[in-house]
Amino acid sequence: MPIQHQPVLWWGTAVLSTLRQFGPLPHRGHECEVLSCGNEAAESEHAWKNCTKNSGHNKFIPASEFCADHLPEWVRYPWMLDYVKLVFDLTVRLRVTFTSWERPKGYSFHNYRGSDSLQVGSGFVQDVSLVQEPCLCRACKNSLTPAQEWFCMYIETACHVVFDRKEAKATKVDLFYDDESSLTNGRMKTIFALDTVVQSKDKDLSVLLCATHDKSIGRKMLDNKKSWIGYFI
C-alpha cells in the first residue's frame, strides 16, 4: 500500500489556492521537442540544427561557457553571476517517455497519444525538503528495506510538457545537465518523477513530485534552493 506523503498534500493545496486567487505562479516558458524512438543524441542534434524557431542558435550561450562578460555591464557583479549559475543548477531536463491518452484532441502532441516517442522539455526546481520516513522512490517502493531518509523535490514545468500523472510516472528528471559533456563526466544525475501534485491545462502548469535518497544529490539541491531563497529575503 503506497505511503501517503503529507507534505505533498499541503504543497499541492497551497499551489492550487494560489492559482485560483492570483493565476499561475511566476513560471518560465518551458520548451519541448519530440524525438523518435531512434538514437536520442543523434535525434537531438538533428532537431538543434534544423530548428526553425532559433535557426542556428547563434546567440545561444552554453551554460558551461557562461561568464561575467555575458552579463550587461550595469549588472556585471560577482553575485549576479552566482545567481545566474544558480538558476542553471535549478533548471532540469525532462525526458517524457509516454504520451497520455488523456491529452484532448487539438491539444499539444495529441497526435502522439499512446506512443512511447520521447519528448524532451525543461523544468525548474520549486522546492526541496528532507523527509524522515520510508522513501517513495521506485527502488524503495519495491524494497523490503526502504531508505528511511530521503529528499522530496517539486519540479515545475508546463502542462504541455507533462500532461498528467501517467506521463509523470514515465518522466526522467536530469539534474545538472549543461551540455553533452555532462553525460560523460558524471555531472548529470537522473531521478524519476512519481506523480503530479498540480495540473492545470488552462494555466499550462504542472508540478511534479520527485524523490531520491541519494544524499549527495539531495543535499546539493537543498543547498541550492536555500541559496535561491536567500536572494529574495
Residue 214 has pLDDT above 70, yes or no: yes
% the chain with pLDDT above 90: 59
Residue 233 has pLDDT above 80, yes or no: no
Q: Cα–Cα distance between 78 and 88 in angstroms, integer?
A: 16
Picking from 33, 61, 60, 58, the residue whose alpha carbon sits closest to that of residue 47 is 33
* 43-48 average pLDDT score: 52
pLDDT value at residue 13:
44
Is residue 95 within 8 A of residue 192, CB to CB? The reply is no
**Tens-digit pLDDT profile for residues 173-187:** 999 988 778 888 888
Q: Cα–Cα distance between 34 and 81 in angstroms, integer?
A: 32
3-state secondary structure of 232: coil
* 41-56 average pLDDT score: 54
Q: How confident is the model at residue 32 (pLDDT cuts 50, 70, 90)?
A: low
Q: How far is CA 198 from CA 1, 17, 154, in A?
A: 22, 11, 10
Is residue 172 within 8 A of residue 98, CB to CB? The reply is no
Lowest mean pLDDT among 175-184, 188-197, 200-209: 175-184
Residue 42 has pLDDT above 50, yes or no: no
pLDDT value at residue 21:
38
Picking from 94, 41, 34, 92, the residue whose alpha carbon sits closest to that of residue 63 is 92
Residue 149 has pLDDT above 50, yes or no: yes
Lowest mean pLDDT among 109-118, 146-155, 189-198, 214-223: 109-118
**Superfamily classification of domain 28-51+67-230:** Trypsin-like serine proteases (2.40.10.10)
Q: How confident is the model at residue 54 (pLDDT cuts 50, 70, 90)?
A: low
Q: Cα–Cα distance between 224 and 220 in angstroms, integer?
A: 6
Mean of all residue pLDDT scores within the chain: 81
**Tens-digit pLDDT profile for residues 72-118:** 999 899 999 999 999 999 999 999 999 999 999 999 899 999 999 88
pLDDT value at residue 12:
42
Residue 15 has pLDDT above 70, yes or no: no
Helix/strand/coil (H/E/C) assignment for every residue in 174-205: EECCCCCHHHHCCCCEEEEEEEEEEEECCCCE
Query: Higher-confidence residue: 52 or 178?
Result: 178
Q: Is 46 exposed, middle or buried (0-12, 13-18, 19+ CB in 10 A)?
A: middle
Give the global pTM.
0.80
- Cβ neighbours of residue 178 under 8 Å, at least 6 residues apart? 62, 63, 64, 88, 187
Q: Is 193 exposed, middle or buried (0-12, 13-18, 19+ CB in 10 A)?
A: buried
Q: Where are the domains of the chain?
A: 28-51+67-230
Residue tagged 548529470 (cell numbers) = 188
What is the sign of the dihedral through the CA atoms of 180, 99, 46 and 204?
Answer: negative
Q: How far is CA 74 from CA 66, 67, 70, 119, in A?
A: 17, 15, 12, 38
